[in-house]
Structure 1
Amino acid sequence: MPQTPETVEVEFISPRHLAGGGDPAWITVPLHRACGWSHGNDPLMPRVILSSPDQKTLLRLEPDPDGQWWTLHHAPTPDRPAWYASFGARTPVEIIAAFTDALAAPDTAATAWADPYEPLRQTGWSPATGADGLASPNETVYVQRLGVDEPGPWFVTTTLGQHRPVWQARFGEHTPPYLIAAFTAALVDPSPVPRTGSPRSLPTRDPDLVTRSHREVPAVQVASALEERVQALAARRAGPATSPSAPRPPLPRNGRSR
């Protein structure tokens, strides 16, 4: 079906952990507009820095070919030491957003998860061969917490084989478990995520690993997706949550790949 000016071709991809990074605005814009995080962008540097209203949390997005692109640091509080989280460039923004949303606008549904492994167990993950932690059914994702005598940091690693890393998320040992659980719950969400732009941004197009479907979507719907997300997060932050429900898979902004 030929694309018209009134429509945008969107590719819906599952599993979401192999959908590529997407548009960073899906994280940064709602934090700024819905949750009041201030930005300190330097127009001469390819980075974004956001700080929470209480100045306890700093989120940095900085392209780094040798390291994690997203880093978040939280200052110590009376009941918890300082902690951190970081995410590789190809970590899908929808999964990172589950973590940052739970931090900036916590609700009863998010804080109900006390064990980051539980969402994985409920979706058929099993103990990893020869190591601690859990692996996805297709063995492309591995979640592990280091430490035996004392609990250590968490690692979520996506690979396409022994020598083909895709992305890694890291959480310090003092990161609140409900935030990591929000991340793992989003990781196993079966809903496909939308992407526009070149398929070359995908880590793989292997049909045995990735399901891709194309759809013509009204351009106005694509353009309004980010605004709808901002409004939804603002409403969540403003009032107590109702019963948890599965959100509709978001659509990318027009002209940007997410």
Structure 2
Amino acid sequence: MPPSPETVEVEYITPRHLAGGGDPAWITVPLHRACGWSHGDDPLMPRVILTSPDQKAQLRLDPAPDGQWWTLHHAPDRGRLAWYASFGAHTPVEIIAGFVDALTDPRPTRGKEADPYGPLRQAGWGPAPTENGLASPDATAYVQRPVGQETGPWVATATLSASRPVWQARFDEHTPPHLIAAFTAALAAPTPAIRTAPGRLPTRDPNRITRTEANVPVDLIAFALENRIRTLAARRSAHLAAPSTPRRPPAHPGRTR
């Protein structure tokens, strides 16, 4: 049945890592409107550049469909060397959001030395058959580090076969582990990705993906981004409004009551 004027046809795609890139606005608009990132404006270049309020992080979105479309560079900070992360054009924005939302979270972070493999093991990922690291149960995604190295860059790959990679995400060795863990948690999440343009899927093979069609209210789709922006903006506002812990006055040695 064709959608009514009040509904739009969407597809719920699992696994989400094979759902295609999605709308870049899911990342760029909240960064600007909810997290205070400034954006450059170069009408002669088809790219987006966003810079964090503290000027330490810069996200570049370059339309290179077969390359690393998203690249984030971060300056040295609090004893950590400069680092970068990048994501291929077909990396679902819902998965990138896990990383970016953790990066912009203003609250104190616990477990900064988190294990990026942890969320994958909890989701049932097992040892990759031919490479070190972990592979998804359906063998269409894996996360790994260089063979025999406990330190080094991390690479996440979604693939339809050994010769058909769909996208890669790359994190250099200095990327904070809790941010990579936030990415792997989003990667392994069972929640379907919603697509309103399902023709852009990297595959329609029913042995690889599950597609569920539905007609949903237009408002549900139209306001999803606004709801995301409000949630992230409220998180930032709550942090800015929180009273700081008052400092205790210095002790005066030799004085007694």
TM-score after normalising by structure 2: 0.88
**Could you list the per-position Cα deviations for residues 107-135 of structure 1 after superposition, in whole angstroms to 9, with x for gaps in the alignment?**
56885770000001111111112321011
**C-alpha spacing 1:81/1:169, structure 2 compared with 1 (3 Å):** same
Which residue is equivalent to 2:221? 222
Distance 1:69 1:90 in 2: 8
2:131 partner letter: A
Tell me the CA shift for residue 60 of structure 1: 0.2
Aligned mates of 2:135, 2:161 — CA distance in 1:
13
Please list the CA deviations of residues 190-249 of structure 1 after superposition, one character each: whole Å capped at 9, or x if unmatched. Answer: 01111002x331011111111111111111221111110000111222336xxxxxxxxx
Structure 1 ranges of 4+ moved more than 4 A: 106-113
User: SS of the counterpart of 1:35?
Assistant: coil
Residue-by-residue CA offset, 1:5-49 (whole Å, 9 max, x unaligned)? 111111111110000000000000000000000000312211000
Matches within 5 A, 1:1-258: 1-107=1-107, 111=111, 114-146=114-146, 148=148, 151-197=151-197, 199-239=198-238
Q: Size of the alignment, in residue pairs?
A: 239
How many Å separate the matches in 2 of 1:99 and 1:110?
A: 15
Contact kept? 1:113, 1:181, Cα under 8 Å = no
- CA shift at 1:147, angstroms? 5.9
Aligned partners of 2:159 and 2:165 also within 8 Å: yes
CA distance 1:202–1:56, shift in 2 (3 Å): same
1:102 Cα shift? Answer: 0.5
- In structure 2, relative to structure 1, the CA distance for the partners of 1:149 and 1:227 (3 Å cut) is closer
Q: Amino acid of the residue matched to residue 228 of structure 2?
A: R
- The runs of 5 or more residues in structure 2 that have no matched partner are 240-257
- Kindly indicate whether the alpha-carbon contact (under 8 Å) linking 1:113 and 1:182 is maintained by their aligned counterparts in 2: no
Task: Compute the displacement of 1:149 (Å).
Answer: 5.3
- The RMSD of aligned alpha carbons is 1.7
Q: Go from structure 1 to structure 2 and tell me whether the alpha carbon gap of 1:147 and 1:235 turns closer, same or farther (over 3 Å shift).
A: farther
Q: Secondary structure at the match of 1:239?
A: helix
C-alpha displacement at 1:177, in angstroms?
0.4
- Residue 126 of structure 2 aligns to which amino acid in structure 1? S
Higher-Rg member (1/2): 2
- In structure 1, C-alpha distance between the alignment counterparts of 2:6 and 2:24, rounded to whole Å: 25
* Code of the aligned partner of 2:24: P
Cα distance per residue 1:36-72 (max 9 Å; x no partner): 0000031221100000000000000001245200000
**Kept after mapping to 1: 8 A contact 2:153/2:171:** yes
In structure 2, the CA distance between the partners of 1:219 and 1:125, relative to structure 1 (3 Å rule), is same
Gaps of 5+ in 1: 241-258
How far off its partner does 1:76 sit?
0.6
**C-alpha distance after superposition, 1:140-193 (max 9, x if no partner):** 111002264560000001110011110000001000000000000000110111
Contact kept, 8 Å, 1:19 with 1:202, in 2: the verdict is yes
